Structure 1
Amino acid sequence: MTSEVEELKKVVAQLQKDVRRLSDQEEVRKLQYIYGYYLDKCLYKEVAELFADHQDTCVEFLGGRYNGKEGVKRLYVQRFANKFANGRNGPVHGFLLDHPQIQGIVDINPEGTHAQGRFRSMMSAGTHESVKDIHPRGLVQWWEGGIYENEYIKENGVWKIFRLKYFPFWHATFEKGWSHTQENYVPFLSKLFPEDSEGPDELCERPMMWPDTRVVPFHYEHPVTGDQVADDDMRAPNYGADPSTSAPPLVLSKPKSHS
């Protein structure tokens, strides 16, 4: 009888761990979806408050890294708000900027304190013809596809975004599509803060943009083999060319406190 009770205790303990892990996964996934809904409507103050109050918190975007909560606010509350909504926190009439968050894969560490997540965004954006004369973008409509490889942290029992790494994989005008995207369609960030009052704190190594099709590294191993994808298979050489002729594989940054 004693052995049966001990076995039941082990089963219950394992079930508790599984429930906690699944609950954490859902909370992180929900957090990322909420991020997308706020971003859709230019609610940049709300976006910034989803991030952790940690020294290694950051956002990586267009080849730049915005560090700490202040850097996060500089990107969203200043740069994005000024660019898309004339400094307003909230939407402006006739401007579309949808950021659906899809294909979410979330993994929680054994301690339940950190998580990693990979998401895809397929953005549609543009202006309505009725506002073409008052919005600085004029009359425009475009597509964007990107990959997130993010880190999350639980602070005081609440999951928050820790390190958001967004790779805007491709851009395209609505009329011509991605086959005709001009090189340097959206320029990488090049000037740092404070020279650029809305600029990043650092520049990232080897940023990518379509037609560059290198693989954004996966935070997880292959679920069957347990292996990571080989470095050469992460590259994107020209058709028929040797992988060594292409740009080096991308590497995900790590928090300075973990290096």
Structure 2
Amino acid sequence: MSEIAALTARIDKLEHELGIEQDVNQIRRLQYTYGYFIDKSQYNECVDLFAEDGDVWFLGGIYKGRAGVERLYKERFQNIFTAGHNGPKYGWLLDHPQLQMVIDVANDRKTAQVRGRSMMQAGLHETAEGDARAWWEGGIYENEYVRESGVWKIKALRYFPHWHGSFADGWQKTPIDFIPMATTCFPEDPLGPDELIDPVPRLWPATDIVDFHYPHPVTGEPIVVDNSRAREGFKD
């Protein structure tokens, strides 16, 4: 290879690597922005972060495509949490920090995958209209992203909540299946998912590991998940 050809190849490689790093930053910004939007119940803005064929996995159900995503955010969340208002409501706390993101962009720079975490604080102040309450929540994301017309969007937001606990009693006293998973699909349930997740997720005190989309960073081997003892205290 001539010196000029070698230099050209090196520049091409560096440009590609720089492009991937730029993608990583844009995807991180996208997911961080999702957290800020959902914190303040900006559900219309949340929907606009998704690809047209994007999905959301939430509490045992899959909401498919734009119609499903809008059903979850604009109809279910917006009506339940803010009485149809697109924005914050007095006394309503719903913080969603986006943490520990491991971002992998495909070599063709058209798709990406992210593993991340949210640790949420939520509740309703005692002076607000409704039943005062306060709880903690934590969960794992295993998301997919797609570049459409040069813009990164959420292709699949897969949120697996792992634990809930009231602020007063803590997670050590969380009742079994404290938050029920979806059991009925749309249209039988007008606000339900389009499909149920199989197997059905279980919350704390179950301790299931969500499969990793990436291999072990040192050995390069697939990360083996052994959930054989994660639910042994449950009685179905």
Q: 3-state SS of the aligned residue for 1:37?
A: helix
Aligned partners of 1:155, 1:6: CA distance in 2, in Å?
32
1:29 lines up with 2:28 in the alignment: yes
Normalization by structure 2: what TM-score?
0.95
Deviation at 1:38, TM superposition (A): 0.2
Tell me which of 113, 116, 121 is aligned to 2:118: 121
Identity of aligned residues (%): 47
Deviation at 1:246, TM superposition (A): 9.0
Normalization by structure 1: what TM-score?
0.87
Q: 3-state SS of the aligned residue for 1:102?
A: strand
The count of aligned residue pairs is 233
Aligned partners of 2:57, 2:125: CA distance in 1, in Å?
30
Deviation at 1:129, TM superposition (A): 1.5
Aligned partners of 2:111, 2:17: CA distance in 1, in Å?
16
Aligned partners of 1:129, 1:236: CA distance in 2, in Å?
42
1:87 lines up with 2:84 in the alignment: yes
Match of 1:13 in 2: 12
1:166 lines up with 2:159 in the alignment: yes
Aligned partners of 1:147, 1:84: CA distance in 2, in Å?
22
**1:36–1:101 CA contact under 8 A, matched in 2:** yes
Match of 1:212 in 2: 206
Aligned partners of 2:233, 2:146: CA distance in 1, in Å?
35
Aligned partners of 1:172, 1:246: CA distance in 2, in Å?
18
1:58 lines up with 2:55 in the alignment: yes
Deviation at 1:208, TM superposition (A): 2.3
- Provide the aligned C-alpha RMSD in A: 1.6
Q: 3-state SS of the aligned residue for 2:138?
A: strand
Aligned partners of 1:123, 1:162: CA distance in 2, in Å?
23
* Greater per-residue strand proportion: 2
Q: Deviations over 1:193-233 (max 9, x none)?
A: 111111101100121211111111111001111111224x3
Which residue identity lines up with residue 209 of structure 1 in the other structure? L
Tell me which of 175, 187, 192 is aligned to 2:180: 187
**1:142–1:171 CA contact under 8 A, matched in 2:** yes
**2:120–2:136 CA contact under 8 A, matched in 1:** yes
Which residue identity lines up with residue 154 of structure 1 in the other structure? R
Deviation at 1:107, TM superposition (A): 0.4
Q: Deviations over 1:173-207 (max 9, x none)?
A: 01111111001111101111111111101100121
